[in-house]
Amino acid sequence: MKLCFIGTGYVGLVSGVCFADIGNHVICVDKNLDKINRLNIGDIPIYEPGLSEMVKKNVDVGRLSFSNDLIKSANKSDIIFIAVGTPTSNDGASADLSQVFNVAKTLKKNIKKSKIIVTKSTVPLGTNDQIDKILNGKKKNKLFKVVSNPEFLREGDAIKDFKYPDRVVIGSDDKIVIRTLNALYRPIINKGAIFFASTRRAAELIKYASNAFLATKISFINEIADLCEKANVHVEDVAIGMGLDKRVGSRFLRAGPAYGGSCFPKDTKALIHTSKKFKSQLSIVNSVIKFNNNRNLHIEKNICRILKNKIKNKNVCFLGVTFKANTDDIRDSAALYLISKLSKKGANVKYYEPTGKKDFFDKNEKVKYFSDLYDAIKNNDLIIIHTEWDEFKSLDFTRIKKNNKKVKIYDLRNLYDSKFFQKSNIFYYSIGRPLYA
Ligand code: UGA
């Protein structure tokens, strides 16, 4: 099929490229010409394992192209995907839908042939009704068929998640549209994904409810981890034991720092905003948001305790600053909060990040980037393992001991077994285990 993806952010770019890879002709459109020029020379704006190779392969065979001409690209395509950003608005809560509505208005003005419009951007309950209204007005014979098709990709695992998802959700009550999208997703359905067609509004809510539920699951295990720290229990034992019950499931039960990224913090807030509109109380999601904000403070307090409340002039090294491994995305990463607090308290913060230097810290003279892991690790009072990159999973402790007088490690991802450090002179602290193990 001929597809057009509007928006080459995370969702649009990965989905567009993956759809090309399963045999479709795809044009990825963005209004940012610089981004399109970069994509056209194979310079991929995001870090996603396997994406760059997939772009090259599909461009070479002529199935994938990039353009900043929305109207021409949309006119050439059968299905148009809206995949522009829906960041948090200036009010700090609701989703800013201006980009989505602007695309809809442009399509309405310039496209005169019938098209299927698929909303992949994460949009609150009722947004597709608004898009429909912009595109079709009150006409009964609709030129544009507006469908909700939420995305469940995880950064860092996006290609795998696209090709082998648990489910494909389509929100539409138009049988022909559902059949067309079923055909589009057929190669993925054939590999085991469940195709679930619901109403458009249910599909919108499925996305937010899924993210809010996962955020709740993480916060739940983080709260249990706090109890474990006090009660001399290892949180992994609890998570494994819980996860063996299929009703609970073992995934997303890894205790750690506050969850971050471009989705969970934004989407939980937007869900609360939506619920208020419908005069409904989402007290659980509200508690999760509060708990997650407090989690940063909790970890900060632990760091202070580990450093015996003497933070000034202490050398603290962060291993990884992105919100999780296998991504270069730093949005809403716990490291942003922790580094800012520690540097304000007078610590000299160093960081090593596998995806390179982050401009975000450039203005903070107490924060220094190291491009070499072991250079960063030298002469520290505390090393904080912030993200679970593979290269942090087998650190050279002989070298670490040689380069640091008295080393303390605070492992926020529980990459190591505390027993391993018992007979060494490394002081190892982790999450949801006795704090001073
Ligand atoms: C999340 C969802 O997992 C995707 O299904 C969804 O499509 C995406 O948001 C989105 O809405 O676009 P992502 O933000 O890439 O994906 O990251 P996750 O892997 O879900 O991790 C989110 C946060 O939770 C990270 O800070 C991670 O470190 C944390 N986490 C995750 C834990 O602390 N423990 C876990 O067990 C799992």
Instruction: Report the run of H or E that residue 428 belongs to, with start and end.
Output: strand 426-430
Q: Which of 182, 198, 214 is the last residue of a domain?
A: 198
pTM: 0.96
Closest C-alpha to ligand 1, atom 19: 154
Give tens-digit pLDDT for 268-323.
Answer: 999 999 999 999 999 999 999 999 999 999 999 999 999 999 999 999 999 999 99
Closest C-alpha to ligand 1, atom 1: 154
Q: Which of 198, 223, 247 is the last residue of a domain?
A: 198
Residues 282 and 328 in one domain: yes
Residues 109 and 191 in one domain: yes
For residue 380, the enclosing domain spans: 200-437
The rounded distance, in Å, linking the Cα atoms of 342 and 198 is: 48
Residues 153 and 253 in one domain: no
CB neighbours (10 Å) of residue 309? 9
Judged against a pLDDT cut of 80, whether residue 423 lies above it is answered with no
Residues 156 and 249 in one domain: no
Residue ranges lining ligand 1, Cβ < 6 Å: 122, 151-155, 211, 214, 218, 252-254, 256, 259-261, 263-264, 267, 323-324
CATH assignment at residue 422 = 3.40.50.720
- In sequence order, which residues have a C-beta less than 8 Å from that of residue 392 and are 6 or more positions away? 319, 320, 385, 413, 415
Closest C-alpha to ligand 1, atom 9: 263
User: What is residue 410's predicted lDDT score, i.e. its pLDDT?
Assistant: 97
Residues 339 and 194 in one domain: no
Instruction: Report the run of H or E that residue 145 belongs to, with start and end.
Output: strand 144-148
18 flagged as catalytic: no
Residues 178 and 227 in one domain: no
Q: Which of 198, 222, 238 is the last residue of a domain?
A: 198
Ligand 1 atom with the smallest distance to the CA of 259 is: 26
Residues 154 and 276 in one domain: no
Residues 286 and 378 in one domain: yes
The rounded distance, in Å, linking the Cα atoms of 92 and 293 is: 14
Residues 333 and 409 in one domain: yes
Pairing of strands 64-67, 315-319: unpaired
* Cα 115–Cα 121–Cα 127 angle in degrees, nearest 5: 75
Q: Which of 154, 157, 288 has the most ligand 1 atoms within 8 A of CB, as the residue to mutate?
A: 154
User: pLDDT-derived band of residue 421, with 50, 70 and 90 as boundaries?
Assistant: confident
288 residue type, one letter: V
11 residue type, one letter: V
Residues 167 and 244 in one domain: no
User: What is residue 437's predicted lDDT score, i.e. its pLDDT?
Assistant: 44
Residues 255 and 338 in one domain: yes
Three-state DSSP at 201 gives helix
Give tens-digit pLDDT for 63-112.
Answer: 999 999 999 999 999 999 999 999 989 998 899 999 999 999 999 999 99
The rounded distance, in Å, linking the Cα atoms of 156 and 323 is: 11
The overall average pLDDT reported for the chain is: 96
Share of the chain above pLDDT 90, in %: 93
Count up the domains in the chain and report the number.
2
One DSSP character per residue, 347-372 reads -EEEEE-TT---GGGTT-TTEEEESS
Residues 265 and 147 in one domain: no
